[in-house]
Amino acid sequence: MKNPVQLGLWLLALTAVGIFGYNVYLRETTPPQRAYTEFLSELRQGAIAKVHIQGQTLTGEDTAGRAFGAFVPDVAALTPLLVEKEVVVTGEQATPSGLADAFKTLLPALLILGGWLIFSKKSFKGDFAAGRDSRFTPIKSERITFADVAGITEAKEELQEIVEFLKNPTKYSRLGGRIPKGVLLQGAPGTGKTLLAKAIAGEASVAFFSMGGSDFVEIFAGVGASRVRELFAEAKKSAPCLIFIDEIDAIGGRRSGGQNSGASDEREQTLNALLVEMDGFDSEETIIMIAATNRPDILDPALLRPGRFDRQITISLPDVKGRLKILEVHAQKIVAAPELNLAAIARSIPGFSGAEIANLVNEAALTAAKRNKDAVEMTDFEEAKDKIVMGLARKSVVVSEKDRRLTAYHEAGHAIVGLMLEETDPLHKITIIPRGRAMGLTQQVALDERLTYSREYLLNRIAILMGGRAAEELVFNRLTTGASNDIVQATEIASRLSCEWGMSSVLGPIAYRTSGDGFLGESGQIKPYSEMIARRIDQEIKHLIGDCYDQAAELLKKHNRFLHKFAEALLLNETMDAEEVDLVYRSYLKERELERILTENGGKNDSINTNEQTEVFP
Give the whole-angstrom CA distance, residue 470 versus residue 557. 10
Look at residue 124 and tell me whether its pLDDT is greater than 60: no
Confidence of residue 372 (pLDDT cuts 50, 70, 90): very high
Q: Which stretches does DSSP call E strand in 437-534?
A: 441-444, 513-514, 525-526
DSSP 8-state symbol, 213: G
- Give me Rg for the CA atoms of the chain: 40
Do 14 and 1 contact (CB within 8 A), yes or no?
no
Over range 576-580, report the average pLDDT.
88
Do the first three CATH levels of 146-315 and 322-390 match, i.e. the same topology? Answer: no
The CA distance from 475 to 482, in Å, is: 15
Q: List, by residue number, the catalytic residues.
A: 411
What pairing do the DSSP bridges indicate for beta strands 241-246 and 207-212? parallel
d(CA 83, CA 353): 96
Residues sharing a CB contact under 8 Å with residue 547, sequence separation 6 or more, in sequence order: 459
548: pLDDT strictly greater than 90: yes
List, in sequence order, every residue forming a beta bridge with 328; answer none if it has no partner: none
Residue 555: what pLDDT? 95
> Residue 610: its pLDDT value, please?
38
Is the pLDDT reported for residue 521 higher than 50? no
In the sheet where 427-431 sits, what is the strand order?
441-444, 427-431, 575-577
- Flag whether pLDDT at 143 surpasses 80: no
Average pLDDT, the chain: 80
**The predicted structure's pLDDT at residue 107:** 62
How far is 485 from 499, CA to CA, in rounded Å?
21
Write the pLDDT tens digit of every residue in 581-592: 999 988 888 888
Diameter over CA atoms, the chain:
144
Residues whose CB falls within 8 Å of the CB of residue 383, separated by 6 or more in sequence, listed in order: 364, 367
Helix (H, G, I), strand (E, B) or coil at 60: strand
Q: 146-315 has which CATH code?
A: 3.40.50.300
pLDDT surpasses 70 at 221:
no
Q: Is the pLDDT of residue 222 over 70?
A: no
Lowest mean per-residue pLDDT among 87-96, 197-206, 550-559: 87-96
**Nearest-angstrom CA–CA distance, 612 and 591:** 12
Please give the C-alpha separations between residue 372 and each of 368, 375, 380, 392, 549, in angstroms, as whole numbers: 6, 9, 12, 20, 47
Q: Where are the domains of the chain?
A: 4-99, 146-315, 322-390, 401-594
pLDDT computed for residue 97 by the predictor: 53
The stretch 74-97 carries a mean pLDDT of 76
CATH number of 401-594: 1.20.58.760
Q: Is 495 helix (H, G, I), strand (E, B) or coil?
A: helix
Distance CA 184, CA 201 (A): 15
Residue pLDDT, tens place only, 422-434: 889 888 889 888 8
Mean pLDDT across 86-93? 79
Pairing status of strand 88-92 against strand 575-577: unpaired
Query: Residue 367: how many CB atoms within 10 A of its CB?
Result: 19
H or E element, residue 315: strand 311-315
- CATH code of domain 322-390: 1.10.8.60
d(CA 606, CA 612): 14
Q: What is residue 410's predicted lDDT score, i.e. its pLDDT?
A: 94
Summarize the confidence of residues 452-465 as an average pLDDT.
Answer: 93
Would strands 513-514 and 525-526 be described as parallel, antiparallel, or unpaired?
A: antiparallel
pLDDT for residue 609 is more than 50:
no
What's the average model confidence in pLDDT over 500-508? Answer: 89
pLDDT of residue 131: 36
How many other CB atoms are found less than 10 A from the CB of residue 599? 9
Q: Which of 57, 37, 61 is nearest to 47 (CA)?
A: 61
Three-state DSSP class for residue 481? helix
Of the candidates 313, 236, 318, 226, the one whose C-alpha atom is nearest the C-alpha of residue 272 is 226
The predicted structure's pLDDT at residue 33: 82
Query: 16-24: long-range contacts (C-beta < 8 A, 24 or more apart)?
Result: 18/103, 18/107, 19/107, 22/100, 22/103
Q: Give the model's pLDDT for residue 395.
A: 66
The answer to whether 431 and 575 are in contact (CB under 8 A) is yes
557, containing H or E segment: helix 531-558
Lowest mean pLDDT among 34-38, 341-345, 447-451: 447-451
Alpha-carbon separation of residue 579 from 348, 452, 495 (angstroms): 15, 28, 35
Does the structure show a pLDDT above 90 at 382?
no
Q: For domain 4-99, which CATH number applies: 3.40.50.720, 3.30.720.210, 3.40.50.10860, 3.40.109.10?
A: 3.30.720.210
Q: How far apart are CA 569 and CA 580, in angstroms?
A: 9
β-strand pairing of 287-293 with 241-246 = parallel
Whether 151 and 275 have beta carbons less than 8 Å apart is answered as: no
> Mean pLDDT, to the nearest integer, of 135-151?
71
Cα within 13 Å of Cα(42), Cβ side: 20
Query: Is residue 493's pLDDT more than 90?
Result: yes
CA distance 148 to 325: 10
Contact between 413 and 558 under an 8 Å Cβ cutoff? The reply is no
pTM of the model: 0.66
Q: Is the pLDDT of residue 616 over 50?
A: no
Of 160 and 405, more confident: 405
pLDDT per residue as tens digits for the range 385-410: 888 877 776 766 777 889 899 999 99
Report, as an integer, the average pLDDT of 592-609.
Answer: 66
Predicted confidence (pLDDT) at residue 339 exceeds the cutoff of 50: yes
Q: Do strands 287-293 and 182-187 pair parallel, antiparallel, or not at all (unpaired)?
A: parallel
266, pLDDT greater than 80: no
Q: Give tens-digit pLDDT for 288-331.
A: 889 998 888 888 888 888 888 888 888 888 888 888 999 998 99
The neighbour count for residue 135, using CB atoms within 10 Å, is: 19
* pLDDT tens, residue by residue, 245-258: 888 888 888 876 65
Average pLDDT rounded to a whole number, residues 507-530? 68
Residue 113 has pLDDT above 80, yes or no: no
